[in-house]
């Protein structure tokens, strides 16, 4: 194919009438033909001929009247009056034939002249003439109306001249003879042809001036009236009028005309233009012409020729020229001259208007920034606008005559040809234009991205083209930005997911050696916090470069977000699973080593590590499952100590499912009230007296399982994605995830409520509730929630102890100090939990207002067996005594631990050595008893920092404030 023009297809012909319309046409032809055959054969008898010639014609005319009336009731447009007039005209014809039959068939006498039948027949033409005028296209100017009248007179006058010369003059002379009854008969004989001439004139005028609406139905109605007029003309001619009898072959013309008029509205009803069919004119459809040029150019001259024939007939026959013929001929010639003058003026105006429009559109085309090209059906360019020089860098004259195929990029040519074929095969009303985008060769040899709007034009194409190269480049940039990370320019999560999906489908669907690596940089957050986010961005860029350089050309390295990266390692399908796993393990170790090398950022050396999770594409796995498996393996690597590679194992997912199920049960338990509050006594190591109680939560599930805090708090932290854990000694986690915060809020409220109830019955023992520093500073929690609880339940000053846990070194101590000071002013005691462990114990002790130090369980467990722990614990207790604080040892389970701690100066202990967690009933019994036996007997404390009995006393130091009762 040398050019896209060679692919232009011939437009398929429009489908013909439907099956229903074809059946109606066949039925019409059969009935009309049968009537004509019967009339030609004389119907077999004179009586049947009279019946068919009179009542048969009456029935056909009545059918036409009913059909036109019924159709007029179904439409609501300007055509409705015309069809009503056609119905009335047909009804008059039916009445005339009925009266004629009444005389001939019923009465058996000759029809008198004139009669009611003649009156009815005379009423046939006027309604039909008015109906045709309604259907005609109405002129919009005075000149148009004048031309309409002149056209009608040209046709009517010409026919009148010829008819007068042939027959009408004889009828007029008969009327002048003065014989009895001659005047009415002559007037009647003149009325028929004159009305027929008027009707024929309107039929011919309407043939050239018919409206575009419902053209097929109007054409059929015109044909029906023309057939009726022809039959009338034959009937009034001198040759047939004297010998006419009902049932002759002439009646077949009237019969067929009536049936054709009955068929007209229904047979073409499906062609009515609907509101949705309007559209631009087709290129192969003739454009409507002005009103004054609606008749063919030869019509005036044909009319003059008819007049000349009428006059010549009289001259050749040796007759004296009739004054009617002379007058009519002169008026026809005058009308012709006037009409030609109007046409001349109109043509001059049209020529000027056409020239003006041509100049206007030429200016638009030549001044347009778009290139307008006209291509022939062969694909040759016939016209190219001057804008081609600025757009394509080629002169328009150079492009004219060239083939489109030589200008379109070879890779785009097939697609362009296919689109052109499809467009030309589509119906123009449904798809008037199409848009094609391809690459076009410029004058410099470069390929420009060109967008063209294509229209049909005389079998060829009109192309309105513009250069969209910059837009295409911008779209490519936007597409790249949408699929790549803006910082590192690596593929982002969306593009990485698509490439994983592509790797698991197609020809690689059976390759199970494909692997996905999830990579997380350990310690990256510390880089952001210490040397700034700009340095962190530089580190990410360098890490992305190392990752990109470490994978193969066919593999994909991506940044998923933050400090998380991923790599897609495509399999070769030639290795066994174990060998492939070993190879991918080596790649992952190499990546880990590369990413863990020191980074030179802002003139200083920065170190981070990499935790990598690896998952292989098992048979039938989905992209989301494969990426999830790699993610789980990566988190297992981080949990296993970081800076390591972990391969995914199915039990990882099973553990996740188990934790998810337990988390779901935990959420239900929070709302169903399955948590119970227990209290463990805090006992004076000197006297055994209960000085406080520590609140703890237990979860008794619907299955009867009692979960300890170490179990359900880990689930709570998992369900919220928290990284921090709990040490299992109380009801609060170290972090502040939402589910754990909800548990902590429940615990605090229940502990305060029960402590207030115990105070009302005389048990004045403080309750200790563990809370994290993050939760105390949580901005999402209601402001003053602790203060509101104390006020609502009426808990007195000194009855609440907050056991503060500080597990995150990033806690803002200034804000935390202000918060604790506000609580201490309300009489709330502050205990520093987990002393001897954690990130910020010494800093917290130095900066925060603390009343009690709670020694960590890990130190207490080894205080007897380990000399090192013994010395550490003794040193911590000495610090507490020097600062004038109370001390509480957590996890005191053995008598030996009690004696060792008491010897070191510890004032209080909490553990199984005295009592486990108690429910409310057993707690109140223990409070009534008041003391627990102390191993080694009750003695005075070895250090002066403790209180011998009663509640925890506050040692006022430099940072202590006088407690104020709640308002």
Residue 286 confidence (pLDDT): 42
Residues 541-556 have a mean pLDDT of 90
For residues 555 and 565, give the distance between their C-alpha atoms in angstroms, rounded to a whole number.
14
**Among the listed ranges 252-261, 277-286, 719-728, which one has the minimum average pLDDT value?**
719-728
Listed in order, strand segments (DSSP E) in 765-844 are 767-772, 800-805, 829-835
Question: Cis bond leading into 567, ω under 30°?
Answer: no
In which residue are the tokens 């063209």 written?
A: 452
Residue 557 confidence (pLDDT): 93
pLDDT of residue 913 exceeding 80, the answer is yes
pLDDT of residue 963 exceeding 50, the answer is no
Sign, CA dihedral 825-829-835-839, equals negative
Yes or no: say if 959 and 790 are a contact pair by the CB < 8 Å rule.
no
Residue 172 confidence (pLDDT): 52
**Among the listed ranges 162-171, 216-225, 359-368, 951-960, which one has the minimum average pLDDT value?**
951-960
Please work out, in degrees rounded to the nearest 5, the angle formed at the alpha carbon of residue 17 by the alpha carbons of 16 and 23. 135
Per residue in 484-507, pLDDT (tens digit) is: 999 999 999 999 999 998 888 865
> Of 680, 681, 688, 679, nearest to 902 (Cα)?
688
> Of 734, 729, 723, 769, nearest to 749 (Cα)?
769
For residues 524 and 661, give the distance between their C-alpha atoms in angstroms, rounded to a whole number.
32
Percent of the chain topping pLDDT 90: 18
pLDDT of residue 798 exceeding 60, the answer is yes
First and final CA of the chain: distance in angstroms? 97
Phi, psi of 104 (to 5 degrees): -80, -40
Helix (H, G, I), strand (E, B) or coil at 957: coil
Yes or no: say if 279 and 426 are a contact pair by the CB < 8 Å rule.
no
CA atoms within 13 A on the CB side of 849: 26
Residue 469 confidence (pLDDT): 84
Question: Cis bond leading into 125, ω under 30°?
Answer: no
| Most confident of the ranges 77-91, 294-308, 652-666, 754-768 | 754-768
In which residue are the tokens 């669907």 written?
A: 509
**Among the listed ranges 568-572, 763-767, 775-779, which one has the minimum average pLDDT value?**
775-779
Structure tokens at 458: 């005389």
Residue 945 confidence (pLDDT): 38
| Most confident of the ranges 367-371, 473-477, 678-682, 738-742 | 678-682
Helix (H, G, I), strand (E, B) or coil at 491: strand
875 or 839, which is more confident? 875
Helix (H, G, I), strand (E, B) or coil at 324: helix
In which residue are the tokens 């992305």 written?
A: 544
**Among the listed ranges 103-107, 140-144, 452-456, 523-527, which one has the minimum average pLDDT value?**
140-144
Residue 659 confidence (pLDDT): 74
Residues 13-17 have a mean pLDDT of 45
Residues 396-423 have a mean pLDDT of 86
596, exposed or middle or buried, with CB in 10 Å at 0-12, 13-18, 19+? middle
Residues 97-126 have a mean pLDDT of 80
Helices within 10-124 (DSSP H only): 19-40, 46-51, 57-74, 80-101, 116-122
For residues 355 and 377, give the distance between their C-alpha atoms in angstroms, rounded to a whole number.
28
276 or 42, which is more confident? 42
Phi, psi of 455 (to 5 degrees): -125, 155
Helix (H, G, I), strand (E, B) or coil at 817: helix
**Among the listed ranges 287-296, 301-310, 366-375, which one has the minimum average pLDDT value?**
287-296
For residues 876 and 852, give the distance between their C-alpha atoms in angstroms, rounded to a whole number.
12
Structure tokens at 558: 């991506």
Q: How many Cβ atoms sit within 10 Å of the Cβ of residue 279?
A: 12
Q: Which residues contact 221 (CB under 8 A, 6 or more apart)?
A: 86, 135, 261, 264, 265
Structure tokens at 599: 């980074």
Kindly state the DSSP code that residue 104 receives in the 8-state scheme: I
For residues 633 and 647, give the distance between their C-alpha atoms in angstroms, rounded to a whole number.
6
> Of 122, 109, 97, nearest to 189 (Cα)?
122
Q: In what order do the strands lie in the sheet with 564-569?
A: 556-561, 564-569, 515-522, 609-616, 645-647
Per residue in 225-269, pLDDT (tens digit) is: 777 767 766 676 655 555 677 778 878 888 888 888 888 888 754
- In angstroms, what CA-CA distances link 605 with 520, 545, 608? 20, 17, 10
- In angstroms, what CA-CA distances link 6 with 9, 250, 376, 432? 8, 56, 9, 21
pLDDT of residue 511 exceeding 50, the answer is yes
Per residue in 458-480, pLDDT (tens digit) is: 768 888 888 888 888 888 888 88
For residues 890 and 873, give the distance between their C-alpha atoms in angstroms, rounded to a whole number.
12
Listed in order, strand segments (DSSP E) in 548-606 are 556-561, 564-569, 599-601, 604-606
Residue 735 confidence (pLDDT): 37
pLDDT of residue 757 exceeding 90, the answer is yes
pLDDT of residue 756 exceeding 60, the answer is yes
Q: CA torsion 505→506→511→516, rounded to 10°?
A: -40
Residue 324 confidence (pLDDT): 67
For residues 446 and 513, give the distance between their C-alpha atoms in angstroms, rounded to a whole number.
44
In which residue are the tokens 């990499």 written?
A: 610
223, exposed or middle or buried, with CB in 10 Å at 0-12, 13-18, 19+? middle
Kindly state the DSSP code that residue 269 receives in the 8-state scheme: G
Burial letters 22-33, b for 16+ CB under 10 A, else e? eeeeeebeeebe
With bands split at pLDDT 50, 70 and 90, how would you rate the model's confidence at 381? confident
Beta pairing, strands 675-684 & 645-647: unpaired
> Of 107, 23, 97, nearest to 53 (Cα)?
97
For residues 72 and 88, give the distance between their C-alpha atoms in angstroms, rounded to a whole number.
12
For residues 766 and 884, give the distance between their C-alpha atoms in angstroms, rounded to a whole number.
20
Q: CA torsion 105→107→111→116, rounded to 10°?
A: -100
**Among the listed ranges 556-560, 630-634, 656-660, 881-885, which one has the minimum average pLDDT value?**
656-660
Residue 528 confidence (pLDDT): 84
Phi, psi of 723 (to 5 degrees): -90, -30
Mean per-residue pLDDT of the chain: 76
196 or 676, which is more confident? 676
Please work out, in degrees rounded to the nearest 5, the angle formed at the alpha carbon of residue 27 by the alpha carbons of 21 and 30. 145
Task: Give the CA diameter of the chain.
Answer: 170
Yes or no: say if 833 and 854 are a contact pair by the CB < 8 Å rule.
yes
858, exposed or middle or buried, with CB in 10 Å at 0-12, 13-18, 19+? middle
**Among the listed ranges 140-154, 395-409, 466-480, 888-902, which one has the minimum average pLDDT value?**
140-154
For residues 458 and 442, give the distance between their C-alpha atoms in angstroms, rounded to a whole number.
28
- In angstroms, what CA-CA distances link 183 with 170, 173, 355, 403? 13, 10, 60, 80
Structure tokens at 517: 């690596």
Residues 394-403 have a mean pLDDT of 84
With bands split at pLDDT 50, 70 and 90, how would you rate the model's confidence at 575? low
Q: How many Cβ atoms sit within 10 Å of the Cβ of residue 797?
A: 15
**Among the listed ranges 93-102, 216-225, 361-370, 765-774, which one has the minimum average pLDDT value?**
361-370
Yes or no: say if 802 and 827 are a contact pair by the CB < 8 Å rule.
no
Structure tokens at 719: 């369900």
pLDDT of residue 73 exceeding 70, the answer is yes
Structure tokens at 587: 């790649």
Q: How many Cβ atoms sit within 10 Å of the Cβ of residue 554?
A: 10
Q: What is the Cα gyration radius of the chain?
A: 55
Percent of the chain topping pLDDT 70: 71
> Of 920, 917, 907, nearest to 951 (Cα)?
907
Q: How many Cβ atoms sit within 10 Å of the Cβ of residue 278?
A: 8
pLDDT of residue 41 exceeding 90, the answer is no
String of DSSP letters for 826-874: TT-EEEEEEETSSSSHHHHHHHS--SEEEE-HHHHHTTTT-HHHHHHHH
954 or 740, which is more confident? 740
Residue 305 confidence (pLDDT): 66
Listed in order, strand segments (DSSP E) in 426-534 are 433-441, 447-457, 460-467, 515-522
For residues 171 and 188, give the distance between their C-alpha atoms in angstroms, rounded to a whole number.
10
């Amino acid at each position: 194919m040398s050019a896209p023009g060679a692919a232009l297809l011939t437009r398929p012909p429009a489908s013909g009438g439907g099956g229903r319309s074809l059946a109606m046409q066949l039925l019409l032809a059969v009935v009309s033909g049968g009537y004509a055959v019967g009339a030609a054969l004389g119907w077999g008898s004179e009586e049947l001929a009279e019946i068919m010639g009179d009542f048969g014609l009456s029935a056909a005319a009545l059918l036409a009247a009913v059909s036109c009336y019924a159709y007029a009731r179904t439409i609501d447009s300007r055509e409705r009056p015309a069809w009503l007039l056609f119905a009335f005209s047909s009804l008059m014809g039916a009445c005339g034939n009925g009266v004629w039959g009444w005389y001939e068939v019923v009465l058996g006498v000759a029809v008198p002249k004139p009669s009611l039948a003649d009156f009815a027949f005379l009423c046939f033409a006027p309604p039909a003439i008015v109906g045709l005028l309604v259907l005609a296209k109405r002129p919009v100017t005075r000149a148009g109306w004048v031309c309409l009248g002149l056209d009608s007179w040209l046709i009517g006058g010409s026919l009148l001249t010829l008819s007068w010369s042939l027959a009408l003059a004889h009828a007029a002379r008969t009327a002048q003879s003065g014989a009895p009854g001659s005047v009415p008969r002559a007037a009647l004989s003149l009325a028929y042809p004159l009305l027929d001439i008027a009707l024929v004139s309107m039929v011919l005028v309407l043939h050239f001036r018919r409206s575009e609406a419902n053209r097929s139905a109007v054409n059929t109605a015109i044909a029906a009236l023309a057939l009726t007029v022809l039959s009338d003309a034959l009937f009034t001619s001198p040759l047939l009028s004297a010998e006419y009898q009902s049932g002759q072959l002439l009646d077949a013309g009237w019969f067929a005309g009536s049936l054709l008029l009955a068929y007209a509205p229904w047979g073409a009803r499906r062609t009515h233009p609907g509101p949705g069919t309007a559209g631009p004119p087709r290129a192969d459809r003739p454009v409507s012409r002005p009103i004054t040029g609606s008749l063919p150019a030869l019509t005036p001259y044909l009319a003059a020729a008819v007049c000349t024939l009428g006059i010549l007939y009289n001259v050749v026959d040796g007759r004296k020229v009739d004054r009617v013929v002379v007058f009519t001929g002169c008026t026809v010639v005058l009308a012709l001259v006037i009409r030609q003058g109007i046409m001349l003026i109109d043509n001059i105006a049209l020529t000027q208007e056409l020239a003006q429009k041509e100049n206007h559109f030429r200016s638009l085309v030549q001044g347009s920034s778009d290139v307008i090209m006209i291509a022939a059906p062969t694909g040759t360019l016939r016209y190219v606008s001057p804008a081609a020089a600025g757009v394509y860098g080629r002169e328009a004259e150079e492009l004219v005559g060239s083939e489109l195929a030589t200008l379109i990029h070879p890779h785009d040519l097939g697609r362009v040809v296919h689109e052109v074929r499809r467009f030309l095969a589509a119906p123009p009303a449904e798809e008037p234009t199409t848009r094609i985008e391809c690459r076009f060769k410029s004058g410099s040899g470069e390929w420009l991205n060109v967008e063209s709007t294509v229209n049909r034009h005389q079998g060829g194409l009109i192309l309105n083209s513009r250069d969209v190269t910059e837009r295409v480049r911008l779209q490519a940039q936007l597409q790249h930005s949408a699929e790549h990370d803006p910082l590192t320019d690596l593929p982002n999560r969306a593009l990485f997911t698509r490439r994983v999906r592509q790797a698991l489908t197609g020809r690689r669907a059976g390759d199970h050696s494909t692997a996905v690596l999830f990579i997380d940089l350990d310690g990256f957050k510390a880089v952001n916090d210490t040397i700034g986010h700009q340095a962190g961005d530089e580190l990410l860029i360098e890490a992305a470069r190392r990752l990109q350089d470490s994978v193969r050309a066919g593999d994909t390295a991506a940044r998923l977000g933050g400090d998380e990266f991923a790599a897609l390692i495509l399999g070769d399908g030639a290795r066994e699973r174990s060998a492939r796993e070993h190879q991918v393990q080596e790649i992952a170790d190499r990546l880990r080593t590369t990413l863990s090398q020191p980074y030179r950022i802002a003139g200083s050396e920065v170190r981070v590590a990499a935790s990598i999770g690896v998952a292989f594409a098992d048979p039938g796995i989905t992209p989301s499952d494969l990426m999830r498996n790699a993610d789980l393996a990566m988190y297992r690597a981080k949990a296993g100590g970081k800076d390591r590679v972990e391969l995914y194992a199915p039990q990882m997912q099973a553990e996740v499912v188990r934790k998810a199920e337990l988390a779901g049960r935990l959420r239900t338990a929070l709302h169903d009230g399955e948590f119970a509050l227990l209290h463990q006594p805090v006992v004076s190591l000197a006297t055994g007296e209960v000085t406080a109680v520590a609140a703890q939560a237990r979860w008794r599930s619907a299955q009867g399982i009692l979960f300890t805090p170490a179990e359900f708090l880990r689930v709570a932290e998992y369900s919220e994605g928290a990284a921090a854990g709990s040490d299992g000694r109380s009801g609060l986690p170290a972090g502040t995830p939402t589910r754990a915060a909800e548990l902590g809020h429940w615990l605090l409220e229940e502990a305060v409520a029960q402590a207030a109830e115990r105070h009302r019955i005389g048990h004045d023992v403080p309750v200790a509730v563990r809370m994290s520093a993050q939760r105390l500073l949580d901005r999402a929690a209601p402001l003053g929630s602790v203060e509101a609880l104390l006020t609502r339940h009426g808990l007195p000053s000194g009855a609440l102890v907050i056991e503060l846990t500080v597990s995150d070194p990033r806690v803002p101590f200034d804000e935390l100090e202000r918060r604790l000071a506000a609580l201490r002013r309300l009489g709330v005691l502050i205990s520093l939990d987990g002393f001897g462990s954690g990130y910020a114990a010494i800093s917290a002790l130095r900066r925060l207002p603390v009343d009690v130090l709670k020694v960590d369980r890990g130190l207490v467990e080894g205080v007897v067996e380990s000399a090192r722990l013994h010395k550490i614990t003794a040193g911590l207790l000495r610090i507490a005594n020097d600062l004038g604080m109370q001390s509480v040892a957590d996890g005191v389970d053995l008598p030996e631990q009690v004696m060792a701690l008491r010897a070191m100066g510890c004032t209080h202990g909490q553990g199984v050595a005295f009592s486990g967690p108690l429910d409310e009933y057993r707690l109140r019994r223990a409070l009534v008893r008041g003391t627990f036996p102390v191993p080694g007997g009750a003695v005075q404390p070895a250090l002066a920092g403790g209180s011998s009995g009663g509640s925890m006393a506050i040692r006022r130091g430099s940072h202590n404030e006088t407690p104020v009762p709640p308002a």
